[in-house]
Amino acid sequence: MLHDKTVAFIGAGSMAEAMISGLVKSEKFPTHQIVATNRSNVERLAALEAIYGINSCKLEDLQFDQIDVIILAMKPKDVDQALSGIKQHIKPNQLILSVLAGITTTYLEQNLHIGQQVVRVMPNTSSAIGESATAISPGHETSENNVILTKTLLECIGEVYTIDEMDMDVFTGLAGSGPAYFYYLMEHMEQQGAKAGFDVETTRKIIAQTIKGAANMVQAQGETPTILREKVTSPNGTTAAGLKALDENGGGKAIAKAVEHAAIRSKEISEQIQESLLVNSK
């Protein structure tokens, strides 16, 4: 299904690069059929070409009629300008994927052609190694074939979950932003290791292996995190002391708040963009 498809990224930042890396590493996709574009940073495009063997060009030079899947990968604040720039070049049956946090399918449909095929997508940066947890929510006009194409494409970069768009903000808080919480945790563990005299490189490897092992245990054993946590925790032992300190310092609540506030921000972005659309149409 993918071998004859061409994919263009509009925006060539962190998320586009993570997806490009994952697509290339999956080897399910001819690299020359991936095109990265941005507005003006040609050095960045040259670097992506050199690293991944893909094609690139400035957005104004993109041959839109040769592209099957267009992936919007700019910041949400730039979406308005981007959509007005591409609308004249695309056809309603061209598939548009958007990875933009907070940008709804309704917003995309309102700003592109009547009947435009769109899918809202929320990957994370672990796409780079084929380990993303990616959600998709198809728009109102999107054909079943295009939903299958979207899933097949995104399965190259990890697991894909089809969700109700109402749940996209929470998914963004959990999985889109999620890797950052674990990096934050690792930064703090690393600092503690360094304080105790461990060298940073070794500590980093130990922590990464510990997190990877815990995640793999949940996936492989089918046991709940609660049961797995209890198995680590000996009465009056070291883990009990660590968990008590976490609880007393608001560790659990802080994690829950992180997910909650990321989701709130995603919703806020939707509302702000929708409001600016209303103001501009007056």
Ligand X SMILES: NC(=O)C1=CN([C@@H]2O[C@H](COP(=O)(O)OP(=O)(O)OC[C@H]3O[C@@H](n4cnc5c(N)ncnc54)[C@H](O)[C@@H]3O)[C@@H](O)[C@H]2O)C=CC1
Comparing CB distances to ligand A1CAB, the nearer of 22 and 33 is 22
Closest-CA residue to 5 (of 25, 45, 32, 24): 32
Comparing CB distances to ligand X, the nearer of 82 and 170 is 82
The Cα–Cα gap between 191 and 15 comes to: 27
Contacts of ligand A1CAB in 56-75 (CB under 6 A): none
Contacts of ligand A1CAB in 146-185 (CB under 6 A): 172, 176-177
CA distances to 59, 75, 94, 147, 157 from 86, rounded to whole Å, are 9, 16, 12, 22, 26
Binding partner of residue 14 among ligand A1CAB, ligand X, none, CB cut-off 5 to 8 Å per kind = ligand X
Contact pattern from residue 109 through residue 148 relative to ligand A1CAB, giving x for each residue in contact according to CB under 6 A and a dash for the rest = ----------------------------------------
Comparing CB distances to ligand A1CAB, the nearer of 83 and 174 is 174
Distance of closest approach, residue 18 Cβ to ligand X, in angstroms? 7
Contacts of ligand A1CAB in 93-112 (CB under 6 A): 101
Binding site for ligand X (CB under 6 A): 10-16, 38-39, 41, 59, 73-76, 78, 81-82, 85, 99-101, 122-125, 176
Measured from each CB, the residue nearest to ligand A1CAB is 176
Strand residues in the chain grouped as ranges (E): 7-10, 34-38, 55-58, 69-72, 95-98, 117-122, 132-138, 158-162
How far out from the chain centre does Cα 196 lie? 35
The Cα–Cα gap between 215 and 2 comes to: 30
Comparing CB distances to ligand A1CAB, the nearer of 75 and 253 is 75
Closest-CA residue to 150 (of 135, 130, 166): 135
Measured from each CB, the residue nearest to ligand X is 13
HEC sequence for 61-125: HCCHHHCCEEEECCCHHHHHHHHHHHHCCCCCCCEEEECCCCCCHHHHHHHCCCCCEEEEEECCH
Comparing CB distances to ligand X, the nearer of 95 and 97 is 97
Total residue length of the chain: 282
CA distances to 83, 118, 129, 146, 168 from 152, rounded to whole Å, are 25, 15, 16, 10, 20
Comparing CB distances to ligand A1CAB, the nearer of 158 and 176 is 176
Q: By CB under 6 A, tell whether 270 contacts ligand A1CAB.
A: no
Binding partner of residue 111 among ligand A1CAB, ligand X, none, CB cut-off 5 to 8 Å per kind = none
Would you say 53 and 32 are in contact if contact means Cβ atoms under 8 Å apart? Answer: yes
159 backbone dihedrals φ, ψ, rounded to 5°? -85, 145
How far out from the chain centre does Cα 225 lie? 24
Distance of closest approach, residue 134 Cβ to ligand A1CAB, in angstroms? 12
Binding partner of residue 175 among ligand A1CAB, ligand X, none, CB cut-off 5 to 8 Å per kind = none
Comparing CB distances to ligand X, the nearer of 2 and 100 is 100
Give the interface with ligand A1CAB as residue ranges (CB under 6 A).
101, 172, 176-177
